[in-house]
Amino acid sequence: ELTVVGFIGLGRMGLPMVENLLKSGFSVQGFDQSEAARAEVAAAGATACSSAKEAARGADVVITMLPNGSIVRDVLLGEAGVADALSPGAIIVDMSSSAPTDTTYLSEQLQPRGFRLVDAPVSGGRKRAVDGTLTIMAGGEPTVIDAIQPVLEAMSAKIFRTGKIGSGHAMKAINNYVSGAGMVAAMEGVILGETFGLAPEVIVDVLNVSTGRNNTTEVKMKQFVLNRDFGSGFALGLMAKDIGIANDLAEALNLQMGSLAETSVRWKAAQDRLGPDADHTEIYRFLADS
């Protein structure tokens, strides 16, 4: 039975995910480079560790919830040397939204050393991380996913098995491309209508009972955009990264995808103007004065 979980990356998503693991009875060894995050995880009832290596030591499962796949690779294989501290047979679960190519590389490095990797990125945002109802898309060997199923269930309401290693990360990038393109379309629709003279609330209400509806029209417009709240808890730089991953994947597969390429360019331009730490819903401000 897997009981000790090392958790590296205690940010907007990682911290509430740890809280749900603790609620389900797992013992958690947490690490983040931010001292404030380490204090928060200790207050939540986990063991706060002073290095990634320490968080991995003695853990049955090590979860990473870091900004991107190159940081995950550095933490596991680089100077931080998590791989050197892992227990024999430990399972590493990268729940970050990493690039699938980074994930296959990582798996090739870890496998000969007897460690098993699963990619299990999530959708649902901070709210569902808090509620423990994230959607998980898990790639990797079915028997390895079986072994970590209770760990995943502690954080999730729905677990999809997407196939080979890296397929969860590919699926996540596809989701965020579709979501980010839908967001730009919905926002441009509102800006277009408003400039013509329609009331923004009317535009959103009509879209929501019509075929133009999507998650941005149904949720984000009224919660975060029209009221200028911009507090979704998902950074613009992370969304730009995810759409870039989808675009890189299309290029690697020799697919010409005009909307994907254009969406990737728009999000990167928004990031250049507003900074990576802006909320991703703030792309509205960029689109409104482009």
Residue of 18, 55, 56, 66 that binds ligand NAD (CB under 6 A): 66
Residue selected from 233, 268, 273, 287 as contacting ligand NAD according to rule CB under 6 A: 233
**Rounded Cα distance, 204 and 214, in Å:** 10
In 3D space, the residue among 119, 15, 14, 139 whose CA is nearest the CA of residue 73 turns out to be: 119
Stretch touching ligand NAD by CB under 6 A, among 2-10, 104-112, 207-215, 260-268:
2-10
* 85 makes contact with ligand NAD (CB under 6 A): no
- The DSSP 8-state label assigned to residue 134 in this structure reads E
Looking at 53, 172, 220, 241, which residue is catalytic? 172
Contact 50, 85 (CB under 8 A): no
Which residues, 6+ apart, have CB-to-CB distance to 15 below 8 Å? 37, 40, 41, 44
172 labelled catalytic: yes
Given 6, 9, 140, 166, the residue binding ligand NAD (CB under 6 A)? 9
Q: Which of 13, 173, 203, 243 binds ligand NAD (CB under 6 A)?
A: 13
Residue whose CB is nearest to ligand NAD in the complex, by number: 11
Contact between 240 and ligand NAD per CB under 6 A: no
> Which position among 3, 24, 34, 149 is part of the footprint of ligand NAD (CB under 6 A)?
34
- Reading the block at residue 70, the tokens are 């190159």
Amino acid at 186: A
How many residues sit close enough to ligand NAD to count as binding (CB under 6 A)?
Answer: 28
Which helix H or strand E contains 180, and what residues bound it? helix 167-196
Which residue has 């047979």 as its token pair? Answer: 89
Separation CA 211–CA 2 (nearest Å): 46
Residues that bind ligand NAD (CB under 6 A): 8-14, 32-34, 37, 52, 65-68, 71, 75, 96-97, 122-123, 125-126, 233-234, 238, 242
